[in-house]
Structure 1
């Protein structure tokens, strides 16, 4: 017993712990762990999991938004490129239309000048014919008067017409 007494003394000198107190402490610790696990650890872990899921969702959303932004940027660049090409095509079409219109205006002006020139030439020819006819008439009249004075006799109407015709033919041949 002395050993047992010695052991108890040692125990008493250490702090006086006995087996019942230890069992109660272990049981209380186990109950405390169970309570912590049920009411503190579980909700804490749930909150941590929710936070982890929330962060993962935010990262996924950010990645999706970045991908959407890149896609929108590519589409905008493609649309800008297409718009530039369309604008260039419109400019080229406008240049071609301007050149065609220029050619049409020049052709119309050339045709108009040709018509005016032809009309002027026709007018000149008509005026020339009128002038020649007037000149022929004056020459015929003067010739008859001169011939009348030279011959000093009256010429019949038939003789006068024949003389005029012959003279006109001669004048026409000279020109």
Structure 2
């Protein structure tokens, strides 16, 4: 019962005042126009600017990524080229080192042969000098012995003794 009286009371109060409804509708339309002009327009402008900014940032990031990828490929290419150049330089240095080693060995062998020939020549000269000196000594000893023999007549034992003495004298003179 209580509920039915409430419904009846609401129906009695629910009659429409068309002037109020039209006024409220007009105010709502004015409010919408004002909101559109002062709130919705600037808000949409800000949103549009934000969207454009985000799109430009995405494009810039994509360009940066492509640039970085390009630079990475260039760096890899340069690194590969540098490695190839370094390997070439190493190979060239090895070849040059081998050539220099062979030249040094050949020069050392030539120098050793020259020194060896010079030593042989000097040995031969020294030998000839020694033989000449011995011949000279033998000749002077022979002359000395002959002069001694001529001075006195000696027996075989005296001759041996005399020869040994002169040989010792010749050895002491040297």
Figure out how many residues of one structure are paired with residues of the other and give that number: 141
Shift of residue 127, structure 1, vs aligned partner: 1.7
Gaps of 5+ in 1: 1-11, 154-175
SS of 1:24 mapped into structure 2: helix
Q: Which residue of 1 aligns with 2:127?
A: 128
How do residues 46-125 of structure 1 correspond to structure 2 at under 5 angstroms?
46-125=45-124
Unpaired stretches in structure 2, ≥5 consecutive residues: 1-10, 152-174
How far did residue 99 of structure 1 move?
1.4
User: 2:23 is matched with which residue?
Assistant: 24
Distance 2:14 2:38 in 1: 33
Question: Whole-Å Cα distance in 2 between the matches of residues 14 and 65 of structure 1?
Answer: 70
Deviations 1:92-144 (A, max 9, x none): 22212321221222122112101101101111221222233234334544565
Which secondary structure does the structure 1 equivalent of 2:15 belong to?
Answer: coil
Say which structure, 1 or 2, has more relative contact order (CA 8 Å, 6+ apart).
2
Partner Cα separation in structure 2 for residue 14 and residue 116 of structure 1: 141
TM-score (norm 2): 0.67
CA distance in 1, matches of 2:90, 2:13: 103
User: Equivalent residue for 1:36?
Assistant: 35
Computed over aligned residues only, the root mean square deviation of the Cα atoms, in angstroms, reads: 2.7
How far apart, in 1, do the equivalents of 2:31 and 2:15 lie?
Answer: 24
Q: Distance in 2 between matches of 1:15 and 1:66?
A: 67
